Structure formats: C-alpha cells, structure tokens
Amino acid sequence: MSIGSPDSTVGVEDHPASAEPVREASVAHGKSPTRIAIDRLRKDKLAMTCAGIVLFFILIAVFAPLLTKIEGGDISTFHTDLVDEYGFPTIGINADHWFGVEPKTGRDNFARWVYGAQPSLIVAFVATLFGTVVGVVMGLLAGFLGGWVDRLISWVIDFVLSLPYLLFAIALVPIVESMRGGSFNLTPDEQASTRFYVLIFVLSFFGWAGLARIIRGEVLSLREREFVLAAKAIGVPTRQVLFKELLPNLVAPIVISASLALPAYVTAEAGLSFLGVGLIEPKPSWGQTIATATNWFKADPLYLWLPVLGITVLVLALALLGDAVRDAFDPKTRR
C-alpha cells in the first residue's frame, strides 16, 4: 500500500510504525535558518527592546529639525546673556531650553544634541559598515586562500596600521579641498561637508585592517576543520565555501567588532575634532560636544553626560542586539 504524499493522511491507520508524522497543511516543510533566527529574535524581549532603542535614535536624527522646531531653539544662536562672565550657564533645564545651554556660548543643548546625532551616527555607521565589509572580505581571502594573496593582504594591513593616522587625516583635508576648488573658494558649508567625507574615509581606511586580521586568524583556524575540508572535497566553489560555510561561523567576531567600533568611532571623531581634522563648526556633533565637555565635566555635568549617555545607550543596545542576533543564528545555542 502506498504511503502517498506527505500531506496526506492516507495509510496512517494501516501502517502506524512507519507512518509520517501528522502535519497540518498550512505548516511549511522546514524553516530556513534565517526564519528560525528571526522567529527566535522576535520572541526575545530584550533584543526587541534594543532594536526599538536603535530605531529611536535613528528617528531622532532624522527628525531633528522638527524636534528643534517644537522646542523653539536652534543650533547657532548665541545666548550669552544666559551665561555668566566665566562662561557658566546660569540656567539649567527649563521650558525654553530642554537640556540647558552650552557653557561660554549659551547655545541650546537640546538642538545641538538632536542635530548632533546626525553626523556622529552617519559617520560611525558608514565607517563601521565599510570597515566591516572590507575587513571581512580581506580577512576571508587572506586566511582562506593563503599563499601570495595572504602575504599581499597582510602586507597591506601592516602598512595601514603603521601609518600615523592623525598625520594622514591632517594631510588629506587640504588635498580634497584643493580638488574641490581650493579652500579660498569654498563656502564654510562646503568646507564642512568636505571634512565630513574625509573623516568617513579616514576612519574607514584605518578601521578595516584590525578586523581583517582578526578574521584572518579565525579563518586560519577554521579552514582546517572537517566541514571545510569536506566542502572542498565535494568540490564546492571557493566563493560558496567562503560565504556559506565560513562566514556564518564568523558572525561572532564580526558582530563584536562592529559593536566595539561604533563608540570608538564616535570618540575618534571627538579626538580628531580637537586636533582640527574632525568635523568642524558650525555643524554640531556628539563627538565635538564631548571633546569640549570633558573640560567642564565637574562644572557643568549635564553638558557632558548627555552626549555620552546618547552614545552609551545606543552602543549598549547595538551590542546586546548583536549578541542576540549571533545567538539566534547559532544552531548550537539553545535557550
């Protein structure tokens, strides 16, 4: 007697021992690993909260102009009447200035905070994305292919890591400015946007090398494993081995690196701003605010902790989300 198609129930009564388990018609055959992961994530309350937080920050950055309008402040008006002769704000949080005002200049902190999220987040995300993608690809190629590919890529990594990145950043700005017509012919806005792109480039340029080395190291270890050897033996094309076999096992270091990179890029932006190669006025950014606020941390704590809190919460959310993603994708971890 034929068993029939899996969805049929014919024959179950006749051959109970060898019968296929009863399945409902609406259920799919099997879930793809991605589906399983996403379902798991959806059930994880913490992960969902973190995703929500990240979305919240993105929305703040996107809707900065609207939010500032609601508050009634703006990023560039100097309110020095609200600041005493030593630069201390004479007011704290009030109805006009939801986060108070900046020392010395008296500019509105709330406006500068929401607007400041934009460049900081964009720079950090883009640099992280670029650095991660390039770093992973390079690391994979170097670790897996070995031979002259490895030697070449390792050489480039060593070179990139040896270069004094501060000097490089300082040097790059006028080069790009001159390509755009020279610093005399650029308006302050154009100069600011030039620096924006240069900064992203510099951070990405120096950021991928570290991750590439980490990935390379892991790949060196992984490529001798049985499942890789098996795949090679079967004749799976290299590209598939790299991206389908190795990459899933590298999710952990990738996620960790990205989550560590993000706050590091924001602070790097701060440091570079101080040395005059980061983002410049009048465009506000969390990094610049942090750079100035570190001097005032005792006298005007709010000024410092607001952007720091912004970064911390964002990064924490990203990191925990990343960990949850990693755990969700890993078939071996059962919770």
Partner 1 sequence: MLYFVARRLVSALSVVLVTLIVTFALFFVAPTDPAASICGERNCTTQRYNEIRENLHLDRPKVQQFAEYTAGIFAGRTFETAGVVQECKAPCLGFSFKSDRPVTELLKTRLPVTISLVAGYAVLVLTIGVFVGSMAAKRRGTTGDRVLMSSTLVLSSVPYYIVALMISLYLTILYPILPRGGYTPISDNPAKWFAGLLTPWLVIGVYNCTQYARYSRGSMVETLSEDYIRTARAKGLSDRVVTYKHALRSGLIPVITIFGLDIAGSLAGAIFTERIFDLPGLGNLVLESLQNYDLPVIMGTVLVASVILVAMNFLVDIAYSIIDPRVRLS
Partner 2 sequence: MQWKRITAVAATVMLAVAACGSPSSNSNSGGNTGDAGTAQVKATDPTLKGPAPEIEGAKKGGTVTVLSDVTPDTFDPTNTYFVDGMQISKLMYRSLTQYKLDDKTGKPILVPDLAEDLGTRSADGLTWTFKLKQGIKYNDGSPVKAADYAYAIKRSFATELYDAGPTYQKQFFKDGDKYHGPYESGDNYSGVETPDESTLIIHLAKKFDDLPYYAAFPVFTPIPKAKDTQKNYEQKPMTTGPYQVASYQQGSELKLTKNPNWDPNTDPVRHQYPDGWDFKFSQDLLKVQRQVLASSGPDANTLNYTDLDSSLVPEVKDQSQIIKGQQPCTYLWGLDTRKIPLEVRQLVAQAYPFETWRKVAGLTPDSAIPASTILPPAVPGYEKYELPGLNGTGKGADDPAVAQEIKGKLKDLGKENFELSWYYSNDDKIANQVNQLRTQVYTAAGFKVKAIGVSKAKIRTLRNDTKAPVNIGQGPSGWCSDWPSGASWFPVLFKSDAVDLSNSVGMLQDKTLDAEIDRIAALSPDEQLKEWPKLDKNLLENYLPAVPLYYSASAYPVGKNIGHAINDVTQGMPEFTSIYLKQP
- Contacts to partner 2 by CB under 8 A: 76, 78, 80, 83, 85-88, 103-106, 161, 165-166, 173-174, 183-184, 188, 191, 206-207, 210, 260-261, 264, 267-268, 270-277, 280-282, 288, 291-292, 294-296, 298-300
Give the whole-angstrom CA distance, residue 143 versus residue 218: 8
DSSP 85-142: TTS-BS--S-SS-TT-B-TTT--BHHHHHHHHHHHHHHHHHHHHHHHHHHHHHHHHHH
Asked if residues 109 and 97 have their Cβ atoms less than 8 Å apart, the reply is yes
String marking each residue 80-119 x if it binds partner 1 according to CB under 8 A: ----------------------------------------
Q: Is the dihedral of CA 68, 71, 77, 79 positive or negative?
A: negative
3-state helix, strand, coil in the chain (%, to 5): 70, 0, 30
**Binding of partner 1 by 246 (CB under 8 A):** no
What's the length of the chain? Answer: 335
**Binding of partner 1 by 332 (CB under 8 A):** yes
Choices 17-25, 70-78, 236-244, 323-331; region in contact with partner 1 by CB under 8 A: 323-331
**Binding of partner 1 by 292 (CB under 8 A):** no
H or E element that contains 52: helix 45-62
DSSP 179-204: HTT-TTTS-HHHHHHHHHHHHHHHHH
**Binding of partner 1 by 275 (CB under 8 A):** yes
Minimum CB distance to partner 1, residue 215 (Å): 9
Q: Position 63: which residue type?
A: F
**Secondary structure of 131-154 in the HEC alphabet?**
HHHHHHHHHHHHHHHCHHHHHHHH
String marking each residue 179-208 x if it binds partner 1 according to CB under 8 A: ------------------------------
282 binds, among partner 1, partner 2, none (CB under 5 to 8 A by kind): partner 2
**Binding of partner 1 by 174 (CB under 8 A):** yes
Minimum CB distance to partner 2, residue 200 (Å): 14
What tokens appear for 249 in the block?
A: 């096992």
Q: Which of 53, 249, 292, 302 binds partner 1 (CB under 8 A)?
A: 249
**Binding of partner 1 by 297 (CB under 8 A):** yes
Choices 15-23, 123-131, 235-243, 326-334; region in contact with partner 1 by CB under 8 A: 326-334
